[in-house]
Structure 1
């Protein structure tokens, strides 16, 4: 009996190992390819800041190894971002055999939408938020101060904002899952809206650089995304979730 019970566990562990190895292999291959254009990637990332720099200012490297490691770090993170659909696909292939058919029917659209929303959050941060934040930061310094951002600091802030907005755009998915799973109801989340809004802005404060502009620019979209999650959860609720909601009302 013990051998029979251990065999499935060993098989699952072997499958998990194989899928993790595939993920690592894909990310490494992407990183090797991106490493050849790491400097170009960094210039593309810093473009919104470079366009906002005052006349005579430029990016600088205060660390001896920064010109090497900052672009390579960006190349690795970019490889992970590009590989995100494949990573989620491998995770899905590992957990999908344990799901019911009805669960798979809703899990696949949620998986695809979560990928799209994550990329949408990154694009939103790069094209809309970066110019505003970098323009604000480069213009508030006192006169006579030469604004020379360090390339490591720029990379750190940019990656933090990418992750923050990428995760923030997953809020509709998280809201819908909370309601559909029965962990919370549509009415309870609506009633707790003031507390959730305060929590959203606290979360934005923790994720963004220490300036009010970036905190507000993250907090407001998170609030809007939460409201969208409530709307879609009510419009496209599974039958089981609708029945639970009706029973709770009764």
Structure 2
């Protein structure tokens, strides 16, 4: 009984060590960002504040909002920056249990998932947010002053980042489904029409109610769907790839 418990205890000790290292890395980044929390919020608010009429700015309807909104943003940025370190700790704990082929596939998929999530957030910040705020501020009534709340604005932007970041993970999800044998590249190709309809439905749900942001999410997702088909063909073992194509 003691012999069977020993490996479990060793795994638990290893898991605790990895969790402590992951949390330590996160808090180190957070402590470095806290002095710049206000500047980070000003940088994040720039796509909206640049479009506001003169004399108007973001306000805090909650007395503590001016403090908690930048703090919340600093925590999100710390998580965003430390994500590779957190995923590395997860990988270091799981990797010894994987076979050689699984390791060769898992590491590129993990790196691709991180890169695509970052790309989705960057796409949302650089292109989507300016277009969305230009649309929303242009069609407001003249008698209504645009004075967004600091906390509501942050929640809106983070939700948009999450929506685009996760949506850009589509090729990785498709490759995983193919590697698990649940679908084949040929089936994904045949379902392209249904996938496009589903992508536009998802874009209409997760984006603000304007056509611009919906198209700016749907079109990249359609391109990423095509990328997922080609990537799944490339990563399949050659005999399986020929069978799937046939």
- TM-score, normalised to structure 2, is 0.92
Query: Within 5 Å, which residues of 2 pair with 1:217-228?
Result: 217-228=216-227
SS in 2 for 1:83: helix
Deviation at 1:225, TM superposition (A): 0.8
Which runs of 5 or more structure 1 residues have no equivalent in the other structure?
none
Contact 2:171/2:224 (8 A) holds in 1? yes
Query: Within 5 Å, which residues of 2 pair with 1:27-66?
Result: 27-66=26-65
The question of 1:136 aligning with 2:135 is answered yes
Distance in structure 2 (CA, Å) of the matches to 1:231 and 1:246? 13
- In the alignment, which residue of structure 1 is the partner of 2:100? 101
Which runs of 5 or more structure 2 residues have no equivalent in the other structure?
none
Query: Within 5 Å, which residues of 2 pair with 1:106-185?
Result: 106-185=105-184
SS in 1 for 2:235: coil
Residues 36-60 of structure 1: per-residue CA shift (max 9 Å, x gap): 1100000000011111113332111
Distance in structure 2 (CA, Å) of the matches to 1:47 and 1:201? 29
Distance in structure 1 (CA, Å) of the matches to 2:104 and 2:244? 25
- Would the alpha carbon gap of residues 139 and 169 (structure 1) be closer, same or farther in structure 2, given more than 3 Å must change? same
Distance in structure 2 (CA, Å) of the matches to 1:168 and 1:248? 26
The question of 1:92 aligning with 2:88 is answered no
Deviation at 1:220, TM superposition (A): 2.0
> Mean Cα displacement is larger for which, 106-115 or 126-135?
106-115
Question: How big is the alpha-carbon RMSD for the aligned residues of Structure 1 and Structure 2?
Answer: 1.8
Count of matched residue pairs: 246
Residues 116-157 of structure 1: per-residue CA shift (max 9 Å, x gap): 212111111111111101111111111211111111111011
Distance in structure 1 (CA, Å) of the matches to 2:158 and 2:243? 45
Distance in structure 2 (CA, Å) of the matches to 1:214 and 1:45? 18
> Mean Cα displacement is larger for which, 63-72 or 119-128?
119-128
- Would the alpha carbon gap of residues 32 and 16 (structure 1) be closer, same or farther in structure 2, given more than 3 Å must change? same
Distance in structure 2 (CA, Å) of the matches to 1:144 and 1:12? 63
Contact 1:121/1:168 (8 A) holds in 2? yes
- Would the alpha carbon gap of residues 14 and 124 (structure 1) be closer, same or farther in structure 2, given more than 3 Å must change? same
Deviation at 1:209, TM superposition (A): 3.4
Distance in structure 2 (CA, Å) of the matches to 1:98 and 1:188? 31
- Would the alpha carbon gap of residues 85 and 249 (structure 1) be closer, same or farther in structure 2, given more than 3 Å must change? closer
SS in 1 for 2:183: coil
Residues 105-126 of structure 1: per-residue CA shift (max 9 Å, x gap): 2222222222221211111111
**Counterpart selection for 1:238 from 229, 236, 239:** 236
Distance in structure 1 (CA, Å) of the matches to 2:241 and 2:228? 16
- In the alignment, which residue of structure 2 is the partner of 1:192? 191
Deviation at 1:206, TM superposition (A): 3.6
